[in-house]
Each structure stands twice: as structure tokens, then as C-alpha cells.
Amino acid sequence: MLHRIVVKIGSSSLASESGGLRSEAVAFFASELAGLQKAGYQVILVSSGAVAAGFREIGYRERPKLLHEKQAAAAAGQAFLMQAYREAFALHGLLAAQVLLTRADFNNRRRTGNASMAMEEILKQGAIPIINENDTVSIDELKFGDNDTLSALVANLLKADHLLILTDMDGLYTKDPRIDPAAVKIDRVDEITDELYAAAGGAGSKVGTGGMRSKLDAARIAMRGGVHVFVGKVTLPGEMLDAAKGSGRGTYFHTSLASLSRKKQWLGFLSTPLGSISVDAGAEEALLHGGRSLLPVGVQQVKGSFHAGDVIEVMGPEQETIGRGIVNYDADQLEDIKGLSSGDVLNQLHDVHRLEVIHRDEWISLKS
């Protein structure tokens, strides 16, 4: 059985600080990915670098900041990026196939299905899908924010076994090792905590957009979908295979969760909540560990203006998000019946089609 692996390479690994692709870097990563393919892995590449590759070519002296300028740079740079990859992979007898995605493709379940089928067919034909955000048409409000998130969503969508997020750091540290000599490297993570986010700090290089915090966000998404994650460094021949096999220079994020269905992936990470509710400790336990639906008696507070069929966030007693679900009541209707027993709800509402506030089939937990 083939192991499926998603590899994310950022701009800082491919481009110089002054802009433009480093051909030797593209050639190196193509060789490493070809090595994975030869070792029996199905390889999917999520690659940043379009804006970095194109901004000087199109006439900007430094990486642009305005949206339309970044879109123009990406339009030019995406062609350079794919040309470089195609030539590099051809030396190993491999075909590179471009896939450009936007957040809207994931927001729409049908479009997500189409993208999935296309990438499955590319893999079936033995080619390597090279996925990037379609920066030329994406707008700031609908962007993934960085390709770390995109790589996690792709890993879940294609039910990958592993996600390798490559960076210029050899893993996650307790503090920033560039400024604190007391920083200690974290080799393994089984749960992403607030302390880990505090250790992750801010963004890294000037070329890319994603720092360690975004990589933790991506790891959290991937782990929830049953995907094991590596965050670390690959700079020497053979290190990509080492990373895949568990002996790489980085931090490994392990999960015992099963892969997510496309519907659950959409519900948990791509839908837009239109309100929120708070629940008591009993309801939290039932949702997170009991495999139960949410009933009105467990609801304590209702916020927002939503309708039956909308996605809402569910907050626990400590006011932290514990999950999302598709609600069966309008907000004002739920306000009237919150905290009531099932018998009282049936007496008060004579046209109840579903007693549950959120059915367990329409729910995803976002807290372990």
C-alpha cells in the first residue's frame, strides 16, 4: 500500500531575500521529492513562492504590500515557479501538474469534490500535483493566510498519512533559539497547548508570510484529520526521506484521531459560523466524549443572529471554543427554550421537527 505524503515548501526555502527563485533550491527539492516517489510514497507538493518569484520580474523593487500589486506579481511569478519545477522534475522523469486553489474552492463542497477528484487522477497518472493558492484572484478576506493552512486542508482532503511542513528552523523550541540560548527543542508533540503557541512567537523571514504560529495552526488542522505532521528543516540530500520516516531534523506532531470526512473538514475549518452558543459542563462532556447530540437543556447562552441550518460555534463553560455544528433552531427560538428539558420543549413548541439543537452527525469537536 502506498503511503501518501503532502510536502509544503515555503517562499523562504525557494527565493532569495531580494526576490526571485534560487534555481539550485528548486532542483534540490525536486530531487528530494523524486526520492520520496522512488521510495514508494505518493507525493503532493504545496509550494509557495509565486509572489517572491515574480515581483522583481514584473518591475517592483521590493515585495509589494498592496493587494493588486501582489496579484500582479503572483500572475508573473506563478509561471516562473511552474517552469522551474517542470524542468527540475523532468530530470527525474516526473511530470509536474499545477493546481491553483482558493478558499472559495474549499467553502463550496461541490468544488472541493471536483478538486479532490482532479488531484486523485493526477496521482493515479504518476504525476506530482503542485498546489498553490491562486493569489491572482484571491482577496484578503478569503485568503488562507498562508500555505501552511492550505497544506493541512489538502492533507485532510486527500487523506494523507503525513504532512511535512518545511521551514528554516529545525523544529519548534520552548523559546526563540535565535535570541535565547536557553531555548530547548521540542521533539514530539501529542497535544497543541496554549504554552506551545506562546513558544511559537511571531513570523519569520521577510520573504514568506508564515511563522511558527501558522505552522501550529496547520498542525492542529491536520492532526484533527488524522494526519501526522513534521515541522522542520530539509537542507541535505536524503533528509526529506528521513523526515518522512521519523528521523528528520524537526518536531513531530502525532495524532491518534481518524481521518475526517469531507463534510466534517468543511464544517470544522472552512465554514463560516454565524453565531455561537455556550453550554454547561454536562453538555460539553456529552459532545466531546459521549458521542451525543446537544439538547436544549445544556444550552446556557445564545449569541448572534442565525437560522436553522446555519453553522454555529459552541463554547464550553470556560468560554473556549469546543466545536462547531449545524443548528436546528433559529436564534430567537433557541433563546426561548435554552435550559429547558426535552418534555418542556415539546410542550412549548408544537411544531418541533428535531429536538436536538445540534445532532451528533452535524457536529465536529475542535477540542480533545
Q: What is the pLDDT of residue 210?
A: 47
Cell of 265: 473538514
Domain match, 234 and 210 both: yes
Burial class (CB in 10 A: 0-12, 13-18, 19+), 251: buried
3-state secondary structure 267-334: HHHHCCCCEEEEECHHHHHHHHCCCCCECHHHEEEEEECCCCCCEEEEECCCCCEEEEEECCCCHHHH
Contact indicator for 151, 6 with CB cutoff of 8 Å? yes
Secondary structure class of 262 (helix, strand, coil): helix
Task: Report the domain count for the chain.
Answer: 2
The CATH number given to whatever domain includes residue 9 is 3.40.1160.10
- Domain edge (last residue) among 263, 282, 310: 263
Cell of 276: 455561537
- Domain edge (last residue) among 263, 295, 315: 263
- Domain edge (last residue) among 238, 263, 288: 263
Domain match, 197 and 318 both: no
Domain match, 31 and 109 both: yes
Q: What is the pLDDT of residue 196?
A: 87
Distance (Å, whole) CA 24 – CA 14: 9
Nearest in space to 270 (alpha carbons), one of 109, 122, 72: 109
Domain match, 100 and 170 both: yes
The CATH number given to whatever domain includes residue 320 is 2.30.130.10
Containing structural domain, residue 229: 3-263
pLDDT tens per residue across all 368 residues of the chain: 679 999 999 988 998 877 789 999 999 999 999 999 999 999 999 998 888 888 888 988 888 888 889 889 888 999 999 999 999 999 999 999 999 988 778 777 788 888 899 999 999 999 999 999 886 666 554 456 678 999 999 999 999 999 999 998 899 998 888 888 888 999 999 998 888 888 876 544 444 444 788 899 999 999 999 999 999 999 999 999 999 999 999 999 999 888 888 788 888 887 889 999 999 999 999 999 999 999 999 999 999 999 999 999 999 999 999 999 999 999 999 999 999 999 999 888 877 678 999 999 999 998 86
Distance (Å, whole) CA 311 – CA 72: 35
Residue in the block written with cell 509572489 = 51
Read off the pTM: 0.84
Domain match, 237 and 292 both: no
Domain match, 231 and 343 both: no
Domain match, 226 and 301 both: no
Domain match, 47 and 187 both: yes
